[in-house]
Amino acid sequence: TGVIRTALHNMDREAREHYSVVIQAKDMAGQVGGLSGSTTVNITLTDVNDNPPRFPQKHYQLYVPESAQVGSAVGKIKANDADTGSNADMKYTIINGDGSGVFSISTDKETREGILSLKKPLNYEKKKSYTLNIEGANTHLDFRFSHLGPFKDVTMLKVIVGDVDEPPLFTMPSYVMEVYENAKIGTPVGTVMAHDPDAANSLVRYFIDHNTEEDRYFTIDASTGTIKTAKIFDREETPWYNITVAASEIDNPGLVSHVPVGVKILDVNDNPPELARDYDVVVCENTKPGQVIQTITATDKDNTANGARFHFSLDEGLSLNPNFTLRNNEDNTASILTRRRRYSRTIQDTYYLPVLISDGGVPPLSSSSTLTIRVCACERDGRVRTCHAEAFLSSAGLSTGALIAILLCIVILLAIVVLFITLRRSKKEPLIISEEDVRENVVTYDDEGGGEEDTEAFDITALRNPSAAEELKYRRDVRPEVKPLSRHHPSLSLDSIDVQEFIKQRLAEADLDPSVPPYDSLQTYAYEGHRSEAGSISSLDSATTHSDQDYNYLGDWGPEFKKLAELYGEIEPERTT
């Protein structure tokens, strides 16, 4: 069947792991003349946990400085195991020794090393060395090979603590001090202490970190560490201060340690009591004697030890008040009571009551406040109806009905005045102004003109030829009252007349004519000219004169004037007939 079996007893993988075996197969039962074939078989031995772990040394020594941080790794240790894989997995423990509470050990699964870490801070001045017994054991055991055990090993580790120059050490992790708010500048508050933990025991220097404004309220003695006040305190403003004190060695100023210091400001009775708020005290006219009209209370900026108990009273320096009295309720409140039956607003509408308030502090403080009491009209159930307004009306002798009537009359008069002004403004002015009113008048007519027939009603000779307008023309809208000056103008021939000169001449006549009104007048002049060889073809001229002109020549002008020649050729016979 070709089964391969071991030929040696207790083969050791750690001694030899790989084997090569040549296998030959023959036919004809191995007789001569038979054929054969061969092959090589590689055999690898698998590992079993048959080798216990062993430390290379029985004694180890480790140097750790005292400045090592808690939780940091300070050293490594490893036990050797000839097995591989999970058979070589190991766990390290500290089984005894005086350093078991200071150090701890864990296992690195990748490198199978024991990692030694620091659990507590080291102090060279207190303890210079530690002894640890460390055990390394396999985690996967094979009970078939338990007789080869035990599968663990123990070694001793001595830890030497190295001396390091450390910063000063305060006697307490934090300090709390107290000082009264009325303490003078330079008053001692407390003392902090620090020392050099090294064997040299160097001198220590103290100072305050002035990082905040609170640190400037205190000073510290650099040699003794005594903290003193540097400013005046007010507990009601700042009841607590937090500062930071630093200490450094004189020989090595770079090594600095810090400690927090809290300073509590103690209260003194330095604030007198005062009324808790501004009271609006009202007394009804129909009140009865002994009736409570207001309950007052007080407040004090000091704490309860110096101001929780208040006492109320009236000012003893004044005469007995016949109108009101005060009763101390012995519970930090007081009641204001009336002393007579009725009060009248017409006689007096306001009363002033001085109240003296004192506290129970040491020494006691007091203050005086004045209550303003108003007299008001109230309903039967005590509700306030009105105070000052009705009192003024009553003193004037006017009732509510009379006041309403007066207001209605004023409103009616105002309505009449407004209506009259509105009607007067809406009244229209006449369109035509009298003849004595010399102003420009613009009259608009919406009549349609009659075309060329309307030109017969007006003398438009001046529009056709400036020479025809030499004679004096009077304005038709104003009757002249002053006889116009005679005008003598040199006659201008039609050939030499100039329109611009003509207009300037008419403008000068208008300026010098005393018959015209004293305002601007618009005069329109139109002149077509007199140098056209064809003459004027205006419809205005055709309305006043009959032209005998022959329009037959228009037919010779070409096809562009054919329509014009036909029109004038038809009109001409009609005129002749």
Do residue 297 and residue 348 come from a single domain?
A: yes
- For residue 574, name the pLDDT band (cuts at 50, 70, 90): very low
510-553 pLDDT tens trace: 778 777 666 566 666 555 555 555 555 555 555 444 455 667 77
80-105 pLDDT tens trace: 888 888 888 889 999 888 888 899 99
- State how far the Cα of 193 lies from the Cα of 213, in Å rounded to an integer: 24
Instruction: Examine residue 24 and state whether it is found in any structural domain, yes or no.
Output: no
Q: Answer for the pair 227, 177: CB distance below 8 angstroms, yes or no.
A: yes
Domain boundary among 344, 363, 386: 386
Residue, of 141 and 176, whose pLDDT is higher: 176
Instruction: Examine residue 319 and state whether it is found in any structural domain, yes or no.
Output: yes
- For residue 254, name the pLDDT band (cuts at 50, 70, 90): confident
Predicted pLDDT of residue 440 = 55
224-250 pLDDT tens trace: 999 999 999 998 889 999 999 999 988
Instruction: Examine residue 232 and state whether it is found in any structural domain, yes or no.
Output: yes
Predicted pLDDT of residue 230 = 92
Strand partners, 135: 93, 154
Residue, of 468 and 210, whose pLDDT is higher: 210
DSSP 276: S
Pairing relationship of beta strands 194-195 and 204-208 according to DSSP bridges: unpaired
Do residue 146 and residue 179 come from a single domain?
A: no
Q: What is the mean pLDDT of residues 159-176?
A: 90
Beta strands of 285-365 (E only): which ranges? 292-299, 310-314, 324-328, 333-338, 350-359
283-311 pLDDT tens trace: 998 888 999 999 999 988 887 765 558 88
CA 318 to chain CA centroid, nearest Å: 56
Q: Is the pTM of this model over 0.75?
A: no
Do residue 373 and residue 303 come from a single domain?
A: yes
Q: How far is CA 392 from CA 65, 96, 281, 312, in A?
A: 95, 103, 20, 35
Pairing relationship of beta strands 366-378 and 281-284 according to DSSP bridges: parallel
What domain range is 90 assigned to? 59-162
Length of the chain: 577
Do residue 72 and residue 154 come from a single domain?
A: yes
Do residue 123 and residue 104 come from a single domain?
A: yes
Instruction: Examine residue 69 and state whether it is found in any structural domain, yes or no.
Output: yes
Q: Answer for the pair 195, 204: CB distance below 8 angstroms, yes or no.
A: yes
For residue 377, what is the enclosing H or E element?
strand 366-378
Do residue 134 and residue 179 come from a single domain?
A: no
Do residue 325 and residue 260 come from a single domain?
A: no
DSSP secondary structure of 497-546 = --HHHHHHHHHHHHHH-TTS-SS----------S--TT----HHHHHHS-
- State how far the Cα of 315 lies from the Cα of 22, in Å rounded to an integer: 130
Residue, of 81 and 455, whose pLDDT is higher: 81
Instruction: Examine residue 137 and state whether it is found in any structural domain, yes or no.
Output: yes
Do residue 115 and residue 78 come from a single domain?
A: yes
Predicted pLDDT of residue 219 = 93
- State how far the Cα of 84 lies from the Cα of 50, in Å rounded to an integer: 11
Do residue 191 and residue 230 come from a single domain?
A: yes
**Cα torsion angle, 551, 555, 561, 567, sign:** positive
DSSP 80: B
Instruction: Examine residue 130 and state whether it is found in any structural domain, yes or no.
Output: yes
Among 121-130, 314-323, 365-374, where is mean pLDDT lowest? 314-323
Number of domains the chain is built from: 3
Q: What is the mean pLDDT of residues 549-567?
A: 76
Average pLDDT, the chain: 79
**pLDDT above 70 coverage of the chain, percent:** 77
The CATH number that applies at residue 99 is 2.60.40.60
Q: Which residues contact 303 (CB under 8 A, 6 or more apart)?
A: 235, 267
Instruction: Examine residue 29 and state whether it is found in any structural domain, yes or no.
Output: no
**pLDDT above 90 coverage of the chain, percent:** 30
Beta strands of 213-364 (E only): which ranges? 218-220, 226-229, 240-249, 256-266, 274-275, 281-284, 292-299, 310-314, 324-328, 333-338, 350-359
Instruction: Examine residue 325 and state whether it is found in any structural domain, yes or no.
Output: yes
Do residue 279 and residue 372 come from a single domain?
A: yes
Predicted pLDDT of residue 178 = 94
Q: What residue has token string 């993988």?
A: 13
Q: What is the mean pLDDT of residues 418-428?
A: 81
Do residue 148 and residue 211 come from a single domain?
A: no
Domain boundary among 332, 353, 386: 386
Do residue 151 and residue 241 come from a single domain?
A: no
489-515 pLDDT tens trace: 554 454 555 677 877 887 788 778 777
Domain boundary among 132, 162, 192: 162
